[in-house]
Amino acid sequence: MTLRDIEIFVTVCELKSMSAAAKKLYMSQPAISQAISQMEGDLQVRLFDRIGRKLSLTYAGEILYSYGKRILNLVKEAESTLDDVRNMRMGRLRVGTSTTVGIYLLPEIIGEFRKKFSIDVYFTIGNTAGIEKLIFDNSIDLGIVEGPVHSRDIVVTPYIDDELYLVCSKSHRWAEKKSISPAEIENEDIIMREKGSGMREIFEETMARNNVRYRIKYVLNNTEAIKKAVEANIGVSVISRLAVKKEIRGGRLVKVDIENIRFERKFSIIYHKDKFKSNLFEEFIRHLYNYSIR
């Protein structure tokens, strides 16, 4: 029994005529006759009683008619749902990101995207290596990560340049100056994330490269907590512009430039080279570039 058979059978049921069904399905009458009698042979039941030249359903036929309609409807529903996926009326995107992007940038970008497309978005936060692994598994569709990615099977495209800002409380003595010399940092209490965090790595690497000494007085494993501590003037810190945008704008934190020193890092969009790029996927990548904060 094929879907075609079922379609033929249901049509014959509804028109109570093989010839009429043939017309409706744009095929010859013998094709219908043959299909029906083949079904009867396969199923070993009579589907129609042929009395006079009128067809009437047998009990078995009535049962098959009822199932047949359900089956055809389900197939139609499946096809139309897939069509919705194709036309981005439905969909799913699985994104993996670094902590900073995941917390301070993506929620807004995804929010905007979902205004245009009513799709499900899943996102996972992890370090670059972890995100890379998820891409290999095809557990996520794309990643936004920091730093270089070494697999030649992964496509890497530059996304946004991030900068870490030296920030202090508005009551800190630097708040007025807006700019300091590197030497001024040496005796300042610094609040920093734990070893291994991306933020700390860039800070230490940059400071070392510029031969600036520093003193990390407090370690907190949470950027929000660091911001609160800086606001309370417990010390100063170096935090992604994405994470302190609001506080600087609101005046609760002050950005302080350091002569000749900038803490920089680059985010990239990554995905597997063999990944099939659905319409939705491409649309999301475009959206990422349009809405990113430069």
Among 37, 73, 138, 290, binds DNA (CB under 7 A): 37
What token pair was written down for 14? 């509804």
Nearest one of 124, 110, 88, 98 to 269, comparing CA atoms: 98
What token pair was written down for 255? 């950005």
Span 246-275, contacts to DNA by CB under 7 A? 274
What token pair was written down for 97? 């990101």
Chain mean position to CA 102: 11
Q: Cβ(71)–Cβ(3) under 8 Å?
A: yes
Give me the least distance between CB of 17 and DNA, in Å please. 4
Using the rule CB under 7 A, is 2 a contact of DNA?
yes
Q: Which part of the chain contacts a copy of itself (CB under 8 A), choosing from 37-45, 222-230, 238-246, 253-261?
A: 37-45
List residues bridging with 143 in a β-sheet.
96, 270
Using the rule CB under 7 A, is 150 a contact of DNA?
no
Q: Which part of the chain contacts DNA (CB under 7 A), choosing from 49-57, 116-124, 158-166, 228-236?
A: 49-57
Strands, E assignment, the chain: 48-51, 54-57, 92-97, 120-125, 142-146, 154-169, 179-180, 190-192, 216-219, 237-240, 253-258, 263-272
Nearer to a copy of itself, 83 or 205 (CB): 83
Nearer to a copy of itself, 89 or 177 (CB): 89
Residues that bind a copy of itself (CB under 8 A): 1-4, 43-46, 49-52, 54, 56, 58-60, 63-64, 67-68, 70-71, 74-75, 77-79, 81-83, 85-86, 91-92, 136-138, 153, 272, 274-276, 278
Residues that bind DNA (CB under 7 A): 2, 4, 17-20, 22, 26-31, 33-38, 50, 52-55, 153, 274
